[in-house]
Structure 1
Amino acid sequence: MGLIKSWVVSANSPDCDFPLNNLPYGVFDEGQGARMGVAIGDCVLDVAKVEHGLDAALFAKPEWNAVMAAGPQVWDALRSRLTELLSDETNRAAVEPHLVPLSDVTLKMPFTVSEFTDFYASKNHAFNVGTMFRGPENALPPNWLSIPIGYNGRASSVVVSGTDVRRPWGQLKGPNDELPRFAPCARFDLELEVGAIVGQPSSGMVSVDQAEKMIFGYVLLNDWSARDIQAWEYQPLGPFQAKATATTIGPWIVTRAALEPFRVPTPERERPLLPYLHEPGPMLYDIDLSVGLAPEGKGETIIARTNYSNMYYSAAQQLCHHTTSGCAMRVGDLLGSGTISGTDRDSRGSLLELSWGGREPITLQTGEKRSFLEDGDTLTLYGAAKGDGYRVGFGACTGKVLPAIEQPEWTKEQG
């Protein structure tokens, strides 16, 4: 498929993240209250103000949850109508007054997150982390090649791009410490992920095929991680406070329909999967991903480049597995892919891997070195699927690290 041309001229540039092929969904505010919008070129369309032929109640709130709940027929009808409105020049006079420059708006949370589950589903990432702590011969847990491993996180910690993230406090215990201490995290990290948004509920087990049809779209996702807090707390039950500081998502939901031309298969299995996890067709996407790091007041260095196709388990497999216990899924549930890493050093999706546990710091273009994040650092995730003369982009997913709060008196030893 090639570029679908729009009368919005900026949407036809091959470098534009938001051509007519994309039409991602978000929420914007230009000072008149938050509203649902669709990105097109360098503008956002106030979707409730155009004639879309759908129930106006779906667009009454500044979030996409009601549209998700309305189901795939409504999703398809809306996309089809938006494509018609923005491609046919005869619609221009009616639609153009409802376009707002992206430079004039603030982007908000695009949907209300019901629940958040994070997975650990990139083999390269799992192997790298396991090698650091257990050696290459025991890098992958015994269950890893059979099951999408995950944990239930906090929906309350999910924030939209542009939200500052404060360095967390927690219990830390070094290998030579007799007892833990309470201190700010010293090994704060990013995790480059893609988040899948559940658009339809379930009340029992669903197949991989059914799960795939339940997914409304995808967002960039940075699951900030306090590695030193995690090292002390995670055994035997896994991440807790180390993952509860913040999870930043991009402001634009890229739909399954927009990504359809970029489908690719999951990798060959080193161990046969149980039948319930078998896929009826290609379930991953060819999406180029990168991470930029900019120290306070300085330029950005791209520290990692990878691709979503490096996943071992697809979002549909993750969602299918999530339901096997009878766990009900809700509209607005968010599934994090887990850190996405490739095979090369510069394709690793976390500083833990890039610096190999802090032992091999990376050098930025400024000449500074990083093993983990420092106060004032701004992290930005980028992602785009690239077609013939166009790209389906996700926009930027950004967060800045602020210093830890001053220690509360009640956390100190009393004399």
Structure 2
Amino acid sequence: MPARQTWVDGAAGSSYDVDNLPYGVFSHSSWEGEQGRVGVRIGDHVLDLAPVAAAEMLEVAHVFEAPALNPLLALDRAHWSGVRRWIVSLLTDEAERGLVEPHLLPVDEVTLSMPFEVADYVDFYCSLDHASNVGKIFRPDAEPLLPNWRHLPVGYHGRAGTVVVSGTDVRRPCGQRKAPDQDQPTYGPTGRLDIECELGFVVGAPSAQGERVATSAFEEHVFGVLPLNDWSARDIQAWEYVPLGPFLGKSFATSVAGWVTPLEALDAARVDLPAQDPAPLDYLAVGPGAGYDIAFEVLLNGETVARPPYSSMYWSPAQMLAHMTVNGASLRTGDLFASGTVSGAERDQRGSFLELSWGGREPFGGPDSQRTFLEDGDTVTLRATAAGTLGGRIALGEVTGTITPAA
């Protein structure tokens, strides 16, 4: 915890105080011909780290000059912590103000780009409430959970090349669909375009191929988190997913926030997992504090439609990481893995429109609403906050996307 209050105007007590300090890659309109570089958010400002680090001849100054966080991610945990302590000192020590203040830029004057180059992308399915709801929707006369669900964190490999930063429009995808009353599939735009409110985890330090990563090593490899929207074409997905799982129904776009919040900023948000029954196998065992108490908010065209609680997630991120590598698959700097839809037990805690509309059969959004799935022109925003070490709540940033018509 910082020993002193920040001197940055308006930052103390805000959701972007010195107990947060998320990283992003930004550019400014005054930078003619210059590429983006690494900054950190403090209050309503972005600190341009490259010139400050160069002035102080910081050993790792070069990582802030890059147009992506990957060089910073590739450092080890000790360096991540050291950089964080340095930034806190810059922003709380009045003696540093003369050096730092000229490099603070108003956040509304900068443009954020994709914060890191994605190496691989894996999406999990770790909410008991979400998995149970989906099972009830599609298999109403059977057990909602498939036999493997309580024994391992189920996941699929996504498409790294279509992960986009917040603010990027999402074009309605086309593909094969087959309704239950049709004899043959047809091709065309999805009619059941959906969201999935998720938490993404950004891998920093890599691992060697052939060696698994233990749950205890989670913080040695994962740099930070960000809100994530795993857009989903439910009709395309329903027709294609048997027997190999999601493919074109998921791969057209995944949106992420422009800010990556370091794991260290979430220390005060650590909570125990819900009870896991049966007890997982030894390689998936975790101790107390393996979960996170993070509050999500889902907004459709500016109106809140759901508040999913991450604290209800059945499988922890350390378990996801351990299972992802238990076969010897290596981690690479820039790997991204996500939690799967975050949903709670109540209707207003469901993190997908599939659940909010109960498979399209129950419109949501008010007594006069006919809303089930996404329409062209809709804008979806996901926000998240967590307890901070200074006593308030920190913001994990937000991720927004607007639906444009199919090509």
Q: Does the pair score TM above 0.5?
A: yes
Deviates more, 1:184-193 or 1:28-37: 28-37
Aligned twin of 1:5: 5
State how 1:11-410 maps to structure 2 within 5 Å: 11-13=11-13, 16-31=14-29, 32=31, 33-51=35-53, 53-135=58-140, 137-203=142-208, 204-294=211-301, 300-363=302-365, 368-387=369-388, 389-405=391-407
Contact 1:43 1:101 in 2 (8 A): yes
For residue 80 of structure 1, give the secondary structure of its aligned residue in structure 2.
Answer: helix
Residues matched between the structures, number: 397
Deviation at 1:3, TM superposition (A): 9.7
Q: 1:11 to 1:136 in 2, by over 3 A?
A: farther
Structure-2 separation of matches of 1:370 and 1:171: 23
On the 8 A contact 1:161/1:250 being kept in 2, the answer is yes
Pairwise CA distance, 1:5: 2.1
Cα 1:258–1:123 shift into 2, 3 Å? same
Q: Residues 219 and 250 of structure 1 are in contact (CA less than 8 Å); yes or no, is this contact kept in structure 2?
A: yes
Shift of residue 55, structure 1, vs aligned partner:
2.3
Q: Between the two proteins, what is the percent identity of the paired residues?
A: 48
CA distance in 1, matches of 2:4, 2:328: 42
**Contact 1:131–1:139 (8 Å) recurs in 2:** yes
Q: Is the Cα–Cα contact under 8 Å of residues 5 and 12 in structure 1 kept in the other structure? A: yes
Conserved 8 A contact 2:167-2:401 = yes
Equivalent position amino acid for 1:50 in 2: V
Query: Per-residue displacement from partner, 1:249-300 (whole Å, max 9, x unpaired)?
Result: 0011011100011100111112111011001331211111110000xxxxx1
Is the CA contact 2:201–2:224 (under 8 Å) kept in the aligned structure 1? Answer: yes
Instruction: State the Cα distance separating 1:237 from its structure 2 match.
Output: 0.6
Whether the 8 Å CA contact 2:269–2:386 is kept in 1: the answer is yes
Checking the alignment, whether the CA contact within 8 Å between 1:19 and 1:391 is kept in structure 2 is: no
Q: Indicate the residue corresponding to 1:297 in structure 2.
A: none
* 2-structure distance, mates of 1:40, 1:211: 27
Q: Which amino acid aligns with 1:235?
A: V
> What is the DSSP-based 3-state SS (H/G/I as helix, E as strand, rest coil) of the residue aligned with 1:54?
coil
Q: Please list the CA deviations of residues 331-373 of structure 1 after superposition, one character each: whole Å capped at 9, or x if unmatched.
A: 11000100000000000000000000011111259x5431000
Report the Cα distance in structure 2 between the residues aligned to 1:321 and 1:329, rounded to whole angstroms.
Answer: 12
**What letter is aligned with 1:177?**
Q
Deviation at 1:2, TM superposition (A): 9.2
Question: Kindly tell me: are residues 364 and 39 of structure 1, through their superposed partners in 2, closer, same or farther at Cα, counting changes over 3 Å?
Answer: farther
Q: Choose 222-231 or 50-59, whichever is displaced more.
A: 50-59
SS at match of 1:117: strand
SS in 1 for 2:213: coil
**Corresponding letter in the other structure for 1:45:** L
* 8 Å CA contact retained: 2:363, 2:369: no
5+ unaligned residues in a row in structure 1: which ranges? 295-299, 406-415
Q: Give RMSD over aligned pairs.
A: 1.5
Task: Output one character per residue of 1:114-133: Cα deviation in whole Å (capped at 9) or x when no partner.
Answer: 00000001000000000111
CA distances 1:74-104 after superposition (whole Å, capped 9, x unpaired): 1011000000000111111110000000010
Q: Secondary structure at the match of 1:401?
A: strand
Change beyond 3 A, Cα 1:26–1:140 = same
* Cα 1:313–1:212 shift into 2, 3 Å: farther
Cα deviation for residue 58 of structure 1 reads 1.7
Could you tell me whether the CA contact under 8 Å between 1:4 and 1:21 is conserved in 2? no
Partners of 1:114 and 1:315 in 2: how far apart?
A: 18
Q: Secondary structure at the match of 2:71?
A: helix
How many Å apart are 1:73 and its aligned residue? 1.3
